Structure 1
Amino acid sequence: MQNKISLKIQITAILIVICALCTNAQTQIRKASLKPTEKNVASATETLPLDPNVKTGKLSNGFTYFIRRNIHPKNRVIMYLANKVGSLMENYDQQGLAHFMEHMNFNGTKNFPKNELVDYLQKSGVRFGADINAYTSFDETVYQLPLPSDKPEILHNGIQIMRDWAKGATLNPLEINKERGVVLEEKRLGKGASQRMQQKIFPVLFNQSRYGQRLPIGLDTVLNNFKPATLNQFYNDWYRPNLQALIVVGDINVADIEKEIKLKFSNLKNPERERVRTKYKINLTNRNHFITATDPEETSTQIQIMIKREALVVKTKKDYQNYISRKLFNSMLSNRFQELMQQKQPPFIAGNAVIGAFIGNIDAFNINVAANPGALEKGFKAAWREIVRLNRDGFTKTEFDKTKADYLKNIENTYRQKNTNYSDLYVGEYLDYFLRSSAAPGMEWEYSFTKLIMPKITLADLNALFKEFNSDKNRDIIITAPEKDKASLPDENSINDWMKSVQEEEIPSYKDSFTEKPLLDKKPIPGKIVKQTELKEINATELVLSNGTKVILKSTKFSDNDILVKAVAPGGSSLYSDADYESANLAAYLITSSGLGSYDYNQLNKYLAGSTIASSPYISDYNQGFQAAASPADLETLLQMFYLYFTNPKKDSTAFEKFISQSKGSLANRKDNPENTYYDTISTMMGNYSSRRTPPSIEKLNQVDLDKSYKIFRQVFSDASNFTFTFVGDFDINKIKPLIETYLGALPTTNKHEKAKDLGIHPPSGKITKIISAGLEPKATVRLTFSGDYDFGYENNLNMDAIAEVLQIKLIERLREEESGVYAPSVSIKYAKIPSERYSLSISLGCAPVNVDKLIASTLDEIKKLKTAGPSIINVEKFKAEKIRNHETHLRANDFWSEYLDQQALNMDDMSEIVKFDDLMKRINPENIKNAAQKYLNENNLIRIILMPEKSKF
């Protein structure tokens, strides 16, 4: 989550966008549960065991805890405080105070007054917003705190912070009044077409239940006017130990943490007169609803059918079997919709059908369609035709058998990674266990049980599952559309007629045309490794192949059963004229959408189903390459795919026409959304008004030529001698080298060694202000950008990172905490070496239109202070603490090394440059940051782009 406080509304309705979850302690120590066996698997009603690797207990006051040792990442721990209290618990005059209370826990507690909490954590290397976080939902409020675990004092204080969050907020009236503005600014950010349509949809969608009356963000009238005593009442009623749990997972000593929890949390007290914690529900009334909502800023017409059922809460073996059945069902039905999307003229822009969680006690079968302009009936009927076909014939045996096999492959691959899973994965399971009573039996149990139960799941089971959900009761139909299309939208009778007409059609049975065959008919003639160099400083190996291809290998044990692969070469679309740009820019997408070798797109997806392979070729402005991943068992298949992309990429006119059709449909009302207008303007201006940075349009689509795209793809992937491949992960170098010789050593070469061209696509110089008037809501968005020529280098890059971070700290302190004018100001820095050395530093914020000038002035004032006085030593130390702590974690992460090696190869920089990090960090100081700010933050080279509402008096 990007911000300090994140409002999370947990709704999975796909087409509805929601802006948005002591000594006398009774300790329960779980003994290792027996793995499922053929003998006991039949006991369907048996409650699933809790993961034996977690220690759980409940104190005499009702406070619950879960503790698990997990060494990935090393020297790190993550703590979550879960509260079974959300917006549903609010009185009428408290609407929004569950979320407001979440904010206040960051604005002063017993042991960390005012903003000392954030200040302390930043000094410990924990970033404000990115790491320290929380969310409020209808039923829960959850606080998140990741910490270093290798310093006892920090770990001890972490438990104290969680204790303060459980019951230690000071709720100072002055701080409450200051925070009103922050919460209202957060609410402002969510305003727009989706929010306005939700106001009409939610009460009906939630069956007039309390869910529709208690949205977590609350009401302006309450947030502006509530008395501190009202917030105190909510806090005292609901923040109590019998509704709370602490989850601690990480590189810790479990016994020590348990002792600390008992010491800190046993003295929490429940109120003498406890309010009943009502379990609010959405009642199923067997009634159907039909809702339409339109808005002038909505850009597409969408229809959703939602058939509601009581939620499946996985508690027993039978529940878990049903859970697997749903996964299989969703996979097969998704494949059918995916095939619809691959037609030459797809019946809709997007469509899907899935059984999943909705909200609270409700699951739903959702059928979703985003229609082409003027073609709602066609799109809806195409989707409904699949539902009718499934109702008549069910799934086929070939679909079912392959999906089961693929599911087993997937869970086996997941099981192989169980010893190197990150702590976050386990936290999520224990949260669900506490908050929703959903079982958390652990990966070992799930893997064993799945293998045993899968043969017992039949095709009839899945077809019966569909019959259960496919009903004309408890069915909601929701249509959202642009305001201008309101008069042409169908009514409920029309939709029912459409359904009836499809029911009367003769629909042919589904036929699965997939036939598995090898990707390659025969192996290529291999090349040879002609040079091997050990990069000892980074524990990696560099190979040069006989065709000139370069390969960097870094074998790690950071993540079991996982290999990340990247490839990069200079050039990209910069090598092509503006007239050919659209074809070049889309070439990789069009070829990927066509398939590979003898497989078309759908067949290739089915061939790869159950594997761990993810592979994507790309062509960007100044380079081309691959981003990919695979397990060791799937690596050879991945390398075969690389070979085919170089030697036998597929060109599919149907895939091309499908893309053009869908793209034109999505462009029809694009300009009606003010945010599109704003970000299109940013792209155009920051791209120096190059035609390559202007908004997408029908005219641009008409410039795309499939034959030209295919030719360009073949050209940029014709010279393997210009590529560097990087492999990071779980592999044996001696075992991987023969595969590299076979497939990468056989890649074609031209030895042209092309370089990227500098097209001058960068922000213009000078003082520029652009105001865009668009949008109905009283909200403004501001982007300030400094840019120019740059001295690219590791030390300078770190100084620029420091500028961005210390400025971010100051803007949060001033714009948010002091002036209460924003929710989450953001500072970002970009620097590049290719095609030329340049930088850009951008500051983004959302606010009330009336505050734009004031907040810009405050921002520029902080920049002026940075340039004249430099940053405070405290803020520099905060940056260094965070950067050093992150660096420690990065050095033990495959994704970091994969990205690092790829970028070093692209920039042709020293692969071992990273070993300089510790020395360079010691040289970062306020004076160096001040000097860099003076050099690069020049107000004579500042672009201001501001989005204001249409009727603003600005």
Structure 2
Amino acid sequence: MKRKFLVVTLAAASVFCLIERPVYAQKVAAGASTAATGAGQKIPADPELKIGKLSNGLTYYIRKNAEPRNRAVLYMALKAGSLMESDAQQGLAHFTEHMAFNGTKDFPKNDLINYLQKAGVKFGADLNAYTSFDQTVYQLPIPTDSAELFKNGFKILANWAGHISMLAPDIDGERGVIIEEDRQRGKNAQSRIQKELLPVLLHGSRYAERIPIGKLDILQNFKHEEIRNFYREWYRPNLQAVIAVGDFDVAQVENLIKENFGKLTNPAKPKPHTTYDLPDGKQPVVKIVTDPEFPYNVAIAFIRQRHKASNNTEDIRRNMVINMANAMLGARINELKQKGTADFVDGQANYGPYQQGLVPGIEATTVLAVTKSGAELTKGLAGVMAEYQRMVQFGFTQSELDVVKKQTEAANEKANREKDKIASNTFVQAYLRNYMYGAPVVSPDFRYEITKKFLGEISLAEINAAAKKMIGSDNNLTIIVQAPEKEKATLPTADQLLAAIRDAGKGLKPYEDNKVNKPLLENKPIAGKVTKTEKIESIGVTKLTLSNGVVIYLKPTDFKNDQIIFSSFGQGGVSQADDKDYLAVNYAGNIPSDGIGEFDNPSLRRLLAGTTASGSSYIDELYQGYGGSASPKDLETALQLVYAHATNPRKDPVVFKKNMEEYSIYLQNSDDSPENVFNDTVTAVLSSNSVREKKPTMAELGTINLDRSFEFYKNRFADASGQTFVFVGNFDIAAITPLLETYLGGLPANNRAEKFVDRGVRPRTGKIERIVKKGIEDKAMVKLFFYNDFDYAPENNIQLSALSDILEFKVLERLREKEGGVYSPNVGVGYEKYPYGNYNLSVSFSCAPANVDKLVNAVLDEIAKLKQNGATADDITKFKAEYHRALEVNMRENNFWLGYLTGKFKNGEDPTSILTTNERLEKVTEASVKASVDKYLNNANYFKAALVPEK
């Protein structure tokens, strides 16, 4: 249970969008204008993509792609969601998606999930689906090295498309699960605020009337025929697409699609497929909402516009222009915060899809401000809006554009170098956007060439002309305020907020750009030398020992063409600070984020423009070290950043003051959140209320000292002799060794032979129960913990992992499928070797408060059954298959190897143990799981925590 240093940033983005959308929607570029570039050319077809249509109207997309190897990503997409529901069907589009996993023609009851789990496809993580307003999407990543399994993947998609069973007992059994999903994801301050804001944000549209989760009374009481009707009416091939991307034969896949989907039929009299719009506003609208559990003061202005996308290069150019403007505007706002001159604690301003693309064709300027108090919201909103108006009135400078062009060029070149390593899921998302919204499909080669061409053509005048058109009209202006209820009396009026937006452009002066004229390092360090070279041939690792005591492990790979990633560790960390000094030096972990030497973050951004290099330092409880990444050509820059963080850290009183103010805002309202109070209670038990784990009080916050934190930071990095680095990626060892000798061999070292200190942070022992009564919703959160000392070793770790996964199978089946009392229970496990061997296995879920005891007893009953009977053969098969399949993919990931090797060297373990994983996996048996239950779930240390409403 390791605690990070104080984190002092507010997540304004968490309140940015009030409507949940699929993640891919956030990637749809948008803008407000385009320069007079003509109609552009039509985007050519991607020669690697096969698009076809069956006679029944079903569309298919097929592309061969080898990353990851022996895997495919299959989607079945439907152009129908909650917007298509009748008044009596509200919530049934989403309910139908659930029913797809409750039995189909060829996979009755739970056979589908069981079949896929035995093949190594994990429910939730791999096998999943979602429903939104205008679409329902089923996703199935599946291995291709088993011919039968791969073929059955298409049968599964076709079963979802036209053969869901919809049996009455299954429908009734799923009602509780849907209601619990609403309870788990909603029933909090944000969802209460959302319910008040939706009629404003979506005024006059069907979207406001068709939230995908639906209405509780309908979910509980609808007649079975209603959902069957919805399925018959809308799950039809002329509204469906199959998307298949992966390591397979294209002709075979096309035949499988024809074979499985060709016989699906459309209704004799299909309902019209209507698209819905969001009408323009006639006058500005302001809505102020407060909630007793909402933690921040936030004001957001939306200024909507319309844009009809085209399928040609004009839109690519337009989007590049708008994205550049957004990047430059964001940099200005961050610079204000860094300098401490902002009228807001956090702010955002950009142009893009309204509510992350909720309504196609609707875009918006969005201006957001977070302030310390409600009384400051007017000033804060005006402060962010002023930067928007400064952009509109005066445009950007050439040096700003040069920076963002360098960044765009570097990203474009990197993408081109990785074009044969693109993950299948990236292509799938592009094809899904094409099917749903007609978004263009751009091949990697064409995107590279057209981006390169436009980068050379786009001028400052074009950017500034586009910026002038991004502001929109007052008629489509909506301002919302979200704030704690206790701030209600101090909040601005609607007139004050409108005036803040309208007057923000008065008396502004052009932006003054601060150019960077200094190098990152004034002088190169005095290089060290490699004094010893060793090989670990079986896993392709080379070990270098440098003259200053730094140890480097190198694993060259071909998993990515243009990636090198690295991390390091050295013992000590914050454990070197006594408990009495802990708070005083608690800012040390933030020092790396303040900049380097004379370079604040805006200056560093300009300096590094055009490179892919990143490099920084960290301090945690037991270790300090470095981490970073780069293209091979930029590795020297990344190593320079490491050296600079070690030898020339930045102490910035302005940023320190800003960060302390931000954290004080969090502390002031933290206890209004039931979840925060609950988590604080859990932490107190699991750390015996250690000062090293709990959040500081307002009084304790004042004891955090920048000078002492800075000195502590410098001390942590004064001796590199204990540092162990791991590098993974596309590099030649001989070619990079001189760089390693220079920048890592040149790190200061005095051979302190330092070790971390075990500060004795331990959980309370025995059987413990904490019931936290906080909150106003009919919602409970439950966490059960089993923990004790642990003999950390690969053979024990895999047995404990097996126990965790198998218990999750049992808990999911019992609490969700049989009891219908939860949506997504979670079983997790963690184990550590240092500072002492320990494990912690937890079971967590949300539910109705009235069901807490019943469901806790159900979990304990499943544990008792495992103690008595052990695991089933099916349980063992599922665990081994999922573990094996995950390892297959991981073994071809740079990030996996970096984490794996770093962990092995931290713990002093044999790094070649990965080669004997299958031997340990075979020792997971029904009997071994039974022994693990007896050993690890014996209730010696058992902690039950529950959050229930106050009334």
- TM-score after normalising by structure 1: 0.94
Q: CA deviation at 1:19?
A: 6.0
Q: CA deviation at 1:500?
A: 4.8
Residue 126 of structure 2 corresponds to 131
- The yes-or-no answer on 1:256 pairing with 2:252 is yes
Q: Which amino acid aligns with 2:519?
A: P
Q: Distance in 2 between matches of 1:63 and 1:696?
A: 58
Q: Secondary structure at the match of 2:469?
A: helix
The answer to whether the 8 Å contact 1:346/1:662 transfers is no
Q: Choose the corresponding residue for 1:63, options 37, 58, 63.
A: 58
Residue 821 of structure 1 corresponds to 821
Residue 360 of structure 1 corresponds to 359
- The yes-or-no answer on 1:196 pairing with 2:195 is no
- The yes-or-no answer on 1:613 pairing with 2:613 is yes
Q: Choose the corresponding residue for 1:93, options 64, 88, 91.
A: 88
Residue 176 of structure 2 corresponds to 181
Q: CA deviation at 1:16?
A: 4.1
Q: CA deviation at 1:312?
A: 5.2
Q: Distance in 1 between matches of 2:250 and 2:386?
A: 55
Residue 371 of structure 2 corresponds to 371
Residue 715 of structure 1 corresponds to 715
Q: Choose the corresponding residue for 1:342, options 338, 342, 358.
A: 338
CA offsets 1:798-823 (integer angstroms, 9 cap, x no match):
00100000000011111000110000
Residue 479 of structure 1 corresponds to 481
**Inter-CA distance 42–297: structure 2 relative to 1 (3 Å threshold):** closer
Q: Distance in 2 between matches of 1:446 and 1:652?
A: 41
Residue 925 of structure 1 corresponds to 925
Residue 744 of structure 1 corresponds to 744
Q: CA deviation at 1:56?
A: 1.2
Q: Distance in 2 between matches of 1:443 and 1:635?
A: 25
Residue 3 of structure 1 corresponds to none
CA offsets 1:219-245 (integer angstroms, 9 cap, x no match):
001100111100011001100111111
Q: CA deviation at 1:699?
A: 2.4
Q: Distance in 1 between matches of 2:282 and 2:245?
A: 43
Residue 906 of structure 1 corresponds to 906
Q: Distance in 2 between matches of 1:774 and 1:593?
A: 35
Q: Distance in 2 between matches of 1:313 and 1:795?
A: 56
Q: Distance in 1 between matches of 2:167 and 2:536?
A: 57
The answer to whether the 8 Å contact 2:516/2:606 transfers is no
CA offsets 1:75-127 (integer angstroms, 9 cap, x no match):
11111111101100110011100100000000001110000000000000011
The answer to whether the 8 Å contact 1:14/1:368 transfers is no
Residue 457 of structure 2 corresponds to 456
Q: Secondary structure at the match of 1:668?
A: helix
**Inter-CA distance 424–944: structure 2 relative to 1 (3 Å threshold):** same
The answer to whether the 8 Å contact 2:589/2:620 transfers is no
CA offsets 1:597-651 (integer angstroms, 9 cap, x no match):
3312221122223422233421111112223211111110010111112211111
| Residues 565-644 of structure 1 mapped to structure 2, 5 A cutoff | 565-589=566-590, 591-644=591-644
The answer to whether the 8 Å contact 2:293/2:673 transfers is yes
Q: Distance in 2 between matches of 1:947 and 1:371?
A: 29
CA offsets 1:308-327 (integer angstroms, 9 cap, x no match):
11245352111111111111
Q: CA deviation at 1:938?
A: 1.7
Say which is worse superposed, 724-733 or 747-756, in terms of deviation.
Answer: 747-756
Residue 756 of structure 1 corresponds to 756
**Inter-CA distance 732–346: structure 2 relative to 1 (3 Å threshold):** same
- The yes-or-no answer on 1:468 pairing with 2:469 is yes
**Inter-CA distance 947–12: structure 2 relative to 1 (3 Å threshold):** closer
Residue 791 of structure 1 corresponds to 791
Q: Distance in 2 between matches of 1:231 and 1:501?
A: 52
Q: Secondary structure at the match of 1:722?
A: coil
Q: Secondary structure at the match of 1:382?
A: helix
Q: Distance in 2 between matches of 1:74 and 1:661?
A: 49
CA offsets 1:871-903 (integer angstroms, 9 cap, x no match):
111101100000011111111110100000111
Residue 207 of structure 1 corresponds to 203
Q: CA deviation at 1:586?
A: 2.6
Q: CA deviation at 1:525?
A: 1.2
CA offsets 1:396-439 (integer angstroms, 9 cap, x no match):
12212221222112111122111111111111111111111101
Q: Secondary structure at the match of 2:721?
A: helix
Q: Which amino acid aligns with 1:265?
A: F
Q: Secondary structure at the match of 1:693?
A: coil
The answer to whether the 8 Å contact 1:789/1:837 transfers is yes
The answer to whether the 8 Å contact 2:566/2:627 transfers is yes
The answer to whether the 8 Å contact 1:551/1:726 transfers is yes
| Residues 798-813 of structure 1 mapped to structure 2, 5 A cutoff | 798-813=798-813
Q: Secondary structure at the match of 1:82?
A: strand
CA offsets 1:834-875 (integer angstroms, 9 cap, x no match):
101000001000000000000000000111111221111110
Residue 8 of structure 2 corresponds to none
- The yes-or-no answer on 1:235 pairing with 2:231 is yes
Q: Choose the corresponding residue for 1:44, options 39, 44, 59.
A: 39
Residue 116 of structure 1 corresponds to 111
- The yes-or-no answer on 1:432 pairing with 2:433 is yes
Q: CA deviation at 1:382?
A: 1.4
Residue 529 of structure 1 corresponds to 530
Q: CA deviation at 1:476?
A: 0.6
Residue 32 of structure 1 corresponds to none
Q: Secondary structure at the match of 2:303?
A: strand
Q: CA deviation at 1:514?
A: 2.4
Q: Secondary structure at the match of 2:765?
A: coil
Q: Secondary structure at the match of 1:542?
A: strand
| Residues 122-521 of structure 1 mapped to structure 2, 5 A cutoff | 122-189=117-184, 190-311=186-307, 313=309, 315-344=311-340, 346-358=342-354, 359-361=358-360, 362-373=362-373, 374-471=375-472, 472-504=474-506, 506-521=507-522
CA offsets 1:669-706 (integer angstroms, 9 cap, x no match):
11111111111111221112101222343223212111
Q: Which amino acid aligns with 1:660?
A: M
**Inter-CA distance 315–579: structure 2 relative to 1 (3 Å threshold):** farther
Q: CA deviation at 1:919?
A: 1.0
Q: Distance in 2 between matches of 1:219 and 1:20?
A: 19
Q: Distance in 1 between matches of 2:253 and 2:584?
A: 59
Q: CA deviation at 1:212?
A: 0.5
The answer to whether the 8 Å contact 1:50/1:439 transfers is no
The answer to whether the 8 Å contact 2:393/2:468 transfers is no
Percent identical among aligned pairs is 41
Q: CA deviation at 1:17?
A: 4.3
Q: CA deviation at 1:758?
A: 1.5
Q: How many residues align?
A: 920
Q: Distance in 2 between matches of 1:871 and 1:345?
A: 61
Q: Distance in 1 between matches of 2:13 and 2:698?
A: 32
**Inter-CA distance 503–151: structure 2 relative to 1 (3 Å threshold):** closer
Q: Distance in 2 between matches of 1:372 and 1:460?
A: 38
Query: How well do the aligned residues superpose, as a CA RMSD in angstroms?
Result: 1.7
Q: Distance in 1 between matches of 2:288 and 2:448?
A: 44
Residue 949 of structure 2 corresponds to 949
Q: Secondary structure at the match of 1:272?
A: coil
**Inter-CA distance 424–822: structure 2 relative to 1 (3 Å threshold):** same
Runs of 4+ in 1 over 6 A off after TM superposition: none
The answer to whether the 8 Å contact 2:587/2:706 transfers is no
Q: Distance in 2 between matches of 1:65 and 1:19?
A: 27
The answer to whether the 8 Å contact 1:529/1:741 transfers is yes
Q: Distance in 2 between matches of 1:13 and 1:186?
A: 20
The answer to whether the 8 Å contact 1:347/1:382 transfers is yes
Q: Distance in 2 between matches of 1:167 and 1:350?
A: 49
Query: Gaps spanning 5+ residues in structure 1: where?
Result: 1-10, 22-40
Residue 777 of structure 1 corresponds to 777
Residue 7 of structure 2 corresponds to none
Q: Secondary structure at the match of 1:338?
A: helix
Residue 852 of structure 1 corresponds to 852
Q: Secondary structure at the match of 2:911?
A: coil
